[in-house]
Amino acid sequence: MSLIRQSFVALPDAENQWNRFEQLIHCDYQDFFNGEGPIAGARAPGRLDVMGGVADYSGSIVLEMPIAQATFASWQWRSDRNLRIRSIGIGAEGLSPEVVISLDEMVDTSGIVRPIDEVRDRLSGDASTHWASYVAGCFYVMLAAHSKVAGGTVHERIGEIGANILIQSDVPLGAGVSSSAALEVSIMMALSEASGIHPSDLTLAAWCQRVENLIVGSPCGIMDQVTSALGIENSLTVLKCQPHDLLGAQPIPSGWKFVGIDSRVKHKVSGSHYTKARVGAFMGLKIIQLESGGKLLENYLCEMSPAEFRDYKHFLPESITGAEYERLYGFLPDTITKVDASQTYHPLGCAEHPILENDRAKQFVAIMHMANLHPEEDYSSSSLRPYYGPPDALMLREAGELMYEAHASYSDRLDLGSRETDILVDLIRDRGEECGLYGAKITGGGSGGTVAVLCREDTELAETALIEICEKYSHETGITPRAIIGSSPGAVSFGARHILRG
């Protein structure tokens, strides 16, 4: 069986995946856990961005599916002051598989938690060990939050001893399916169980985002962490990112299926294109706030409808240098990114994309809701959107067109497309409905990564077509793609576990 066809084989369910991880600890890693206490563990999935994507930082509604691939983390306290962190299999990525970080990097000699900027600098390290800053960052964020009630000093409950931390993940790195959030959430869940410090579910997700923004230095929104923590199997997490208003989970309709195709072109949320798109969006927000005579929009562009934006878009330049922006408009209303005076930005396109994407996401979830209604329901009486005629193909078609529109906007407005993902989307569109394929779009931060595909679930035709598309893509690009199929529960519903050593 070819590597492409192998990637279309479904993974075991979450419980069986967990049992395999637990067995690995019992059989192969008993010596690693040389502390005296119990081992706490957790599992957190990656996510497939169906709609919303980079509009999250502008306050959009996003629709995210927790995928079958997940990260597993285990945590055991030890008697010294070292965090001993090992990631199984990460050496294949050219990274150091084990990193030791002293608590002294996060706590000074007086027992006071160090400032976050200092900790970020101390944890930056070299490229081969930088991955461990996600793990140590989770410890630091919880440590800092817990120490606030004690005037900044650490407490014996957390911050005075180190830990053995073992990680295994099958969420592909750089594929745009949020391997970083899966790592952060699994670590934070395991640490929470080990320490007995239990934040609310949304606070846990927000702490993980804080790790990424302020420790690692990636300007991501919160949709990845919320989905990894709170996602529901076979449903799309519906999140209004203002900052994290969880609207519920929309079940995937019968006959619908979402599949990811990893282009194997790695993307980075911390990359320059993503950062420029985010800065451009916040430039657009600030210009509208100033030029409209005080329209504050609660600091979220997506408070504007597309119709309302049309009345204000003439204020926005298609391009502007960072230096010119700062001269005319001053500071950027974003706490995560900064304007680079030497760069050229595109406020019009970068502001228009999230406003249109928010509208597309609303339409998409309305279509899914209608598709889940019983056949005897009177669609025309719905306050969401009326449909007349057979809903099955019609709704798939309309949802798919919204995905194609979103994909085009990534390139046209944000400069976050890529040749390889365009090839995949074009191949999917060419095969089309006759093969059970209805829509496709680049996901997450763009510039490579994974393409999300909407297809029919109840036919082998779609899977056969996707395999053939992947084979043609491989022939055209020389890159072997892989499928990301299936869904699984988020970390909170799966729950933290205690691992008993044999």
Half-sphere exposure at residue 297, Cβ-oriented, CA atoms within 13 angstroms: 27
CB 295 within 8 Å of CB 289: yes
Q: Concatenated DSSP letters for 388-419?
A: -S-HHHHHHHHHHHHHHHHHHHHHHTTS---H
Q: Which residues contact 466 (CB under 8 A, 6 or more apart)?
A: 8, 259, 261, 428, 437, 453, 455, 483
DSSP state of 434: G
Catalytic, 170? Answer no
Q: What is the largest CA-CA distance in the chain?
A: 72
The structure tokens listed for 146 are: 């817990």
Q: Compute the distance between CA of residue 499 and CA of residue 428 in angstroms, rounded to an integer.
A: 44
Classified as helix, coil or strand, 481 is: coil
Helix axis angle for 391-412 and 419-431, nearest 10°, is 160
Catalytic one among 224, 262, 334, 359?
Answer: 224
Q: Which residues contact 124 (CB under 8 A, 6 or more apart)?
A: 130, 133
Tokens 């911390």 appear where?
A: 270
- My answer on whether omega of the bond before 243 falls inside 30° of 0, hence cis, is yes
Give the catalytic positions in this structure.
224
